[in-house]
Structure 1
């Protein structure tokens, strides 16, 4: 892995982790604005706790060494969570500004996943 790719990976992964931790904490403590947002989107409030816990566990999985299969699941969870947020805002005809956060986190998820080092990837069998 080139130095450039390592830098891209770590910058994306750190920003992704900060974004997931900050939104996870906001959801876990059920900040009023987050409760209002989930109500607006039509989701039950208990969904905040579920998303928060999985986001926080996903960050741990992505940051700790080894466990490449667990990392794949964490990246998949981030992808589904952020793409779901984007489509939820689109379904409610929300303003474009409401798409920025989840779109940025979705992009960071992809960049972090794409540039992850070999020891953080699952192995494949070559024919």
Structure 2
């Protein structure tokens, strides 16, 4: 792996994980602003707990060594969560500023996944869980 690719991976991954962990915590503690936003988007309050827990678990998996299969699931979960957030904002015709966070985290998810080192990829050589 080239040094540039390794730096790109770690910068994207650290920012992705910071974004996911911070929003996950906000969702777990159910700050009033977050509850209001979810209600406006049409989701029940308990959905905050579900996505908050999954974000934090996903961060742990993405940062942990090995477990390439579970990492694939974590990246897929981040991708579905952020693309779902974007489409939800589209559905309720939110202002453009509301798309920035989910779009940034979606891009960071893709960049981190794409540039991940070989030992973090699911291959024939390391297809253990």
TM-score (structure 2 length as normaliser):
0.95
Gaps of 5+ in 1: none
1:56 partnered with 2:65: no
Deviation string 1:11-60 (CA, Å, 9 cap, x unpaired) is 00000000000000000000011000000000010000000000000000
Root-mean-square deviation (CA, aligned residues, Å) is 0.9
Match of 1:43 in 2: 43
1:19 partnered with 2:27: no
- Dislocated runs of 4+, deviation >4 Å: none
Match of 1:3 in 2: 3
TM-score (structure 1 length as normaliser):
0.97
Match of 2:121 in 1: 121
Deviation string 1:66-85 (CA, Å, 9 cap, x unpaired) is 00000000000000000000
Number of residue equivalences: 125
Q: Distance in 2 between matches of 1:24 and 1:34?
A: 11
Deviation string 1:72-125 (CA, Å, 9 cap, x unpaired) is 000000000000000000000000100000000000000000000000000149
